[in-house]
């Protein structure tokens, strides 16, 4: 199974903060804009891009009308458009985030529903692949399809499903899928699999987790045991 190298990506931190938060089913627009409103330039971009949905009552009412999920998707499309074309689009465009939505749908049964960390990981991968394509360096980053087989063995839903998917991806790059599934069924911990990996595979996993953690401003997962 082919390996991949995760780059550091300078991500929009206001948006990342929201995606990492426990937003519940229907977060209050006031809570969302407490975060987004710290960036006046972004607010100007949003007001213009979302103007087709604005009935004159402002951007917070636009979010209320669209709902958090749709608003989040459309906001993400602005960031993706900027990464693709070098500037923000005049309107939101859901086509450019279809890969992210498909990624989210694939694993949503394993995520705690009040979080958007699947979307966060998909968003990161999309930005990373655009960067690799623009610089013509590195392979396209793809999560191994077998990850879903391994997740199916685990019980319950994970709050930090993004980290779990990345760790399982690296296990699958190094170890046999049947071995992983069998030993997970026996309640083996991550340390057990870590010891089975080659030193080069362990090094790649650690470097990739550090890159992802730095990109989303979250290092504690690498520094402390979480799984």
Let me know if residue 8 belongs to a domain: no
3-state secondary structure of 12: coil
1 in any annotated domain: no
The DSSP result for 86-106, as a single string, is SS--SS--GGGGHHHHHHHHH
Residue 46 maps to a domain = yes
Looking at residue 138, what is its pLDDT?
65
Position 109 scores a pLDDT of 94
112: closest CA among 179, 161, 43? 161
pLDDT value of residue 132: 85
Bridge partner list, 158 = 111
56 φ/ψ sector (left φ>0, alpha ψ -120 to 50, else beta): left
Total domains in the fold of the chain: 1
pLDDT confidence of residue 227 = 46
Using the CB atoms, write b or e for 62-89: b if 16+ within 10 Å. bbeebebeebbbbbbbbbbbebeeeebb
Please give the pLDDT value at position 46: 96
Domain residues for the domain of 170 are 13-223
Q: 185 lies in a domain?
A: yes
Binning the chain into helix, strand and coil, the percentages to the nearest 5 are 65, 0, 35
Enter the tokens of residue 196: 């089975």
Domain for residue 3, yes or no? no
152-176 residues labelled b (16+ CB within 10 A) or e (exposed) = eeeeeebebbbbbbbbbbbbbbbbe
Listed as ranges, residues in the chain with pLDDT below 50 are 225-227
């Amino acid at each position: 199974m082919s390996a991949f190298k995760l780059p550091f990506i300078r991500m929009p931190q206001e948006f990342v903060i929201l995606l990492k938060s426990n937003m519940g089913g229907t977060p209050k627009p006031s809570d969302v804009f407490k975060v987004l409103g710290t960036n006046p330039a972004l607010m100007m971009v949003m007001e213009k891009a979302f103007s087709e949905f604005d009935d004159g009552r402002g951007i917070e009412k636009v979010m209320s009308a669209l709902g958090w999920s749709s608003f989040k998707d459309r906001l993400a499309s602005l960031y993706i458009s900027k990464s693709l074309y070098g500037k923000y689009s005049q309107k939101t465009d859901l086509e450019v985030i279809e890969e992210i939505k498909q990624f989210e749908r694939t694993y949503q049964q394993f995520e705690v529903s009040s979080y958007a960390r699947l979307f966060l990981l998909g968003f990161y991968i999309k930005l990373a692949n655009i960067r690799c394509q623009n610089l013509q360096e590195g392979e396209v980053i793809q999560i191994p399809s077998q990850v879903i087989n391994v997740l199916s063995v685990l019980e319950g839903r994970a709050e930090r499903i993004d980290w779990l998917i990345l760790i399982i991806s690296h296990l699958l790059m190094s170890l046999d899928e049947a071995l992983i599934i069998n030993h997970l069924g026996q309640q083996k911990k991550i340390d057990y699999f870590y010891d089975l990996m080659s030193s080069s595979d362990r090094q790649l996993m650690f470097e990739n987790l550090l890159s992802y953690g730095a990109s989303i401003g979250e290092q504690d997962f690498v520094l402390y045991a979480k799984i």
